[in-house]
């Protein structure tokens, strides 16, 4: 039974030279952060590291000790530079082994796709003692070892793995949010935002400015794990913005 009052936290380690070089745009931060909110877990830190065993190991040890959970994405494919498993095994001081259930899943998936070769078998490698995360998309499973969840880098495959984990992690209350938008420079209402947040201890207000059609605007996102507290804070913020002469758009602009 989870303790709803406790704040559960997670770190995310994004692995891959292609992300750092800008060749590939990372889409997993948003989907993992959103999914974690629904599990009652706060994504608190994201790091990106290159495909180097020592970099992966260093970041793994830092994040797994700091947060309740650590998620990683990328680097568990069939090529020589897919070394996430090696980096995490090094961090934990564990050998890398071929998981028999993962091997069987790959053999079944590739039975009519040319069979399992040496490269494909790399996707069955895990730190010794690890558990598997189901992957209905391509047969190559994700990996759980301790409080570390190793996911694929391809967003649609990572999403399948998250779906398999839904409800399986201990967490607190889901984080709720409500967005209010205004055509106003955020600097003009900074004190108003700070005062409203201070008056509502269970809420946080994030300000996200934009410039569109020659005008400055901002969306203000109120977050809380309590529905009544969220409604009260959002209501007070909307009233304060309206009292200052701004038109408020519920749901954001």
What's residue 3's pLDDT?
Answer: 53
Look up tokens 């303790």; give the residue: 3
Please report the beta strands in 16-62, taking only residues with DSSP state E, as ranges in sequence order.
41-49
What's residue 244's pLDDT?
Answer: 95
Instruction: Please name the helix (run of DSSP H) or strand (run of DSSP E) that holds residue 242, with its range, or none.
Output: helix 227-243
Residue by residue, pLDDT tens for the chain (253 residues) are: 345 578 899 999 999 999 999 999 999 999 999 999 999 999 999 999 999 999 999 999 999 999 999 999 999 999 999 999 999 999 999 999 999 999 999 999 999 999 999 999 999 999 999 999 999 888 899 999 999 999 999 999 999 999 999 999 999 989 899 999 999 999 999 999 999 999 999 999 999 999 998 999 999 999 999 999 999 999 999 999 999 999 999 999 9
What's residue 136's pLDDT?
Answer: 86
What's residue 21's pLDDT?
Answer: 94
- Does residue 235 contact residue 203 with C-beta atoms inside 8 Å? no
Sign of CA dihedral 48, 49, 54, 56: positive
What's residue 6's pLDDT?
Answer: 85
β-strand partners of 46: 12
Quote the tokens at residue 223. 């977050």
- Does residue 171 contact residue 188 with C-beta atoms inside 8 Å? no
- Does residue 5 contact residue 135 with C-beta atoms inside 8 Å? no
Q: Which DSSP symbol is given to 187?
A: G
Tell me the per-residue pLDDT of 212-242, one tens digit each, with 9 for 90 and over.
Answer: 989 999 999 999 999 999 999 999 999 999 9
Quote the tokens at residue 1. 């039974």
Quote the tokens at residue 15. 């692995």
Phi, psi of 219 (to 5 degrees): -105, 135
Shortest CA distance to 129 belongs to which of 163, 160, 85?
Answer: 85
């Amino acid at each position: 039974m989870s303790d709803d009052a406790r704040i559960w936290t997670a770190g995310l380690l994004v692995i891959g030279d292609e992300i750092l070089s800008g060749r590939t745009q990372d889409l997993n931060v948003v989907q993992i952060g959103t999914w974690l909110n629904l599990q009652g877990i706060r994504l608190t830190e994201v790091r990106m590291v290159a495909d180097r065993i020592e970099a992966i190991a260093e970041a793994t040890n830092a994040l797994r000790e700091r947060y309740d959970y650590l998620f990683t994405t990328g680097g568990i494919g069939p090529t020589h530079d897919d070394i996430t498993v090696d980096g995490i095994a090094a961090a934990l001081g564990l050998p890398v082994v071929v998981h028999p259930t993962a091997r069987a899943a790959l053999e079944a998936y590739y039975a009519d796709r040319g069979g399992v070769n040496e490269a494909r078998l790399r996707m069955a490698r895990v730190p010794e003692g690890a558990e598997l995360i189901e992957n209905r998309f391509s047969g190559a499973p994700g990996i759980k070892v301790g409080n570390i969840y190793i996911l694929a880098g391809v967003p649609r495959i990572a999403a399948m793995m998250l779906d398999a984990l839904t409800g399986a992690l201990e967490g607190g209350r889901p984080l709720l949010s409500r967005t209010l938008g205004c055509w106003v420079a955020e600097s003009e209402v900074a004190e108003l935002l700070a005062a409203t947040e201070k008056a509502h201890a269970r809420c946080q207000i994030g300000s996200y400015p934009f410039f569109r059609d020659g005008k400055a605007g901002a969306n203000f996102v109120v977050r809380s794990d309590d529905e009544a507290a969220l409604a009260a804070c959002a209501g007070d913020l909307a009233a304060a913005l309206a009292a200052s002469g701004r038109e408020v758009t519920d749901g954001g602009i």
